Amino acid sequence: MSKTYRRIVLASRPTGWVMPENFRLETLPIPSPGPNEVLVRNHYLSLDPYMRGRMNEGKSYAQPQEIGATMIGATVGEVVASHHRAFTVGNHVRGMLGWSEFGVVNGKALERIDTRKIPMSAYLGIVGMPGMAAWYGYHKILAPKAGETLVVSAASGAVGSVVGQLAKLGGLRAVGIAGGPEKCRYVTDELGFDACVDYRGAKDAEALTQALRIAAPKGVDAHFENVGGDALNAVMNLLNPFARVAICGLISDYNNERGVVPHSAIRNPAVFLVARIKMQGFIVSDHLELWPQGLTDLGALLVAGKLKFRETIAENLARAPEAFIGLLRGRNVGKQIVKLV
């Protein structure tokens, strides 16, 4: 085994769009685990939109990432050395070891994963944090009933693809919003949504509303928002009385420079009153007590062949910055992963 490993640190904070020079690749000696610690070789790294917020200076719902520190990130991998009684060499584990090929961590911060029926990388997506965000927003905020219509934006992505499939399993009409015909074809033909609106193909906000009106002819009862902006405003125009809106993410604003009016600003607040709407944001890590239930549920559906997923995989840690910028620009289909081994 090599005596060194590579990691990527935050070199500088972006203003606006993330650039490759905001990251730095470093080579370090592989550390030895201390008491209760475990050395893990990471096989896959998850790239997620929330990382963009951590690159900013100010506190959001979480503390910012420090300059010079390993970029934050969920990982799955294999135990290489263990001084913790719950782990032995060869165990497959999930942790938050960051953009790094190896990591040493207290065993308390690791979780065993069972890769006999579910591939290791899926523990970063459909049976990981993004799947859990879909499960939580769908069941605990939208709580839709069979026969209702649900819309989800970024429908081909890690979270959105699960939301729409849960809706189909629940007997709803599932409508996706996605960027481009290829993503929309994936959403309807492979994931089984009833319709998908390509927002990039709509010439203006009115055309987008019109396309959504056709895709959701009975109006919208439940909306799962991942993006914000024109699509959110278009869906707001179509909400039925007592509709629920779950705000999971507003990715179209994550690369704004400070002080810019959010692209996601809601243009017609009267709809809250007229249609008696409930809108609620959530952060999935606030609900850790529900993760065992949600992830067991999702895992069972996956193993039974009732949920599908796709991954966009970048090979090699050095390509993580480029893949992360691609995720923020919508180049991924499904879960964006970096393969490290």
Ligand X SMILES: NC(=O)c1ccc[n+]([C@@H]2O[C@H](COP(=O)([O-])OP(=O)(O)OC[C@H]3O[C@@H](n4cnc5c(N)ncnc54)[C@H](OP(=O)(O)O)[C@@H]3O)[C@@H](O)[C@H]2O)c1
User: Taking contact as CB under 6 A, which single stretch among the options 23-31, 42-50, 203-211, 296-304 is the one that binds ligand X?
Assistant: 42-50
Q: Tell me the C-alpha distance between 215 and 340, whole Å.
A: 40
Q: How far is the CB of 50 from ligand X (least distance, A)?
A: 5
* Burial (CB count within 10 angstroms: exposed 0-12, middle 13-18, buried 19+), residue 308: middle
User: Taking contact as CB under 6 A, which single stretch among the options 74-82, 201-209, 291-299, 329-337 is the one that binds ligand X?
Assistant: 329-337
In the complex with ligand X, the residue whose CB is nearer, 100 or 252, is: 252
Q: Tell me the C-alpha distance between 235 and 28, whole Å.
A: 49
Residue 209 in the binding site for ligand X (CB under 6 A)? no
Q: Tell me the C-alpha distance between 56 and 140, whole Å.
A: 30
In the complex with ligand X, the residue whose CB is nearer, 127 or 154, is: 154
Q: How far is the CB of 83 from ligand X (least distance, A)?
A: 33
Binding mask 71-110 for ligand X (x = CB under 6 A): ----------------------------------------
* CA neighbor of 196 nearest in space, from 164, 219, 168: 164
Residue 14 in the binding site for ligand X (CB under 6 A)? no
In the complex with ligand X, the residue whose CB is nearer, 182 or 206, is: 182
Secondary structure E strands in the chain? 4-10, 23-29, 37-46, 75-82, 92-95, 102-106, 111-112, 149-153, 173-178, 195-198, 220-225, 239-247, 278-281, 311-315, 335-339
Q: Tell me the C-alpha distance between 33 and 46, whole Å.
A: 23
Count the helices and strands in the chain (H runs, E runs).
9, 15
In the complex with ligand X, the residue whose CB is nearer, 49 or 73, is: 49
8, 97, 154, 196: which one binds ligand X (CB under 6 A): 154
Residue 164 in the binding site for ligand X (CB under 6 A)? no
Q: How far is the CB of 226 from ligand X (least distance, A)?
A: 4
Residues that bind ligand X (CB under 6 A): 48-50, 129-130, 133, 154, 156-160, 178-179, 183, 226-227, 248-249, 251-252, 282-284, 327-330, 332
